[in-house]
Amino acid sequence: MAYEAALCDSGVAETLKALLPKGGRPRQLGPNTVLLGVMLALDGGRPAHLKAAWRALSQLSVHDQLALGFVATGDHPWHQATYRQYEDAFTKIVKAIDPSPVPSFKRNLRGVFSTGRENLHPGKTSLSGTRGQLRSIG
C-alpha cells in the first residue's frame, strides 16, 4: 500500500507509538492502523470521521487486515477490531499528543451570563445570574 509506505517513511506512527502509555494489555490497533484508516477514508471520498475510517479498514482484504492488526488471531479463528476499539485507540493517541482537555471549560464563568434585567421577549423566561436559574420576565 502506498499510504502505508508514506506513513512508514514519515515516522509519525512510530513517534506516536513512543508517546503512548506503556504497560497493560497490548493494543490490537496501533497508530499506524488508525492513521491509515483515516487516509483510506479520505482517499475513498469519505469524510475524515472515525466511523468512515473504521469502515475503510473493514473493507480491506483479510490479508491486509491481518497485516495491519485490524484482524487479530488468538483463541478464536479471527477477531475484527470493533468501532469502539478503533475509537479508543484514536482517543489514546490524541491524549498522548495533548493530555489537556480540549476545549478546556475550567475558566471562570463569572460574567458570562448577564445579571441584569435584559429581556429579549416579554413574558418569556431567561437565564438569571451566574447560577443559570430560570426566572420569569414580566
18-52 pLDDT tens trace: 888 888 777 889 999 999 999 999 999 999 899 99
Q: So what's the pLDDT on residue 109?
A: 43
Is 136 found in the same domain as 86? no
Residue whose grid cell is 475550567? 106
Question: In sequence order, what are the beta bridge partners of 71?
Answer: 80
**For the chain, what is the domain count?**
2
Question: Where is average pLDDT lowest: 10-19, 89-98, 120-129?
Answer: 120-129
Residue 118 structural domain? 108-138
Q: How far apart are CA 23 and CA 114, in angstroms?
A: 49
Q: Please check the confidence at residue 91 and state whether its pLDDT lies above 70.
A: yes
* pLDDT score at 7: 84
Q: Is residue 102 situated within a structural domain?
A: no
Check whether residue 64 and residue 33 sit in a common domain: yes
Question: Is 15 among the domain residues?
Answer: yes
| Whether residue 92 is found in the same domain as residue 113 | no
Which residue, chain included where needed, has cell 495533548? 98
pTM of the model: 0.67
From 53-62, 73-82, 126-135, the region with the lowest mean pLDDT: 126-135
Reported as a single tens digit per residue, the pLDDT across 112-137 is: 444 444 444 445 444 444 444 444 44
Q: Is residue 103 part of a domain?
A: no
**Mean of pLDDT values over 91-110:** 67
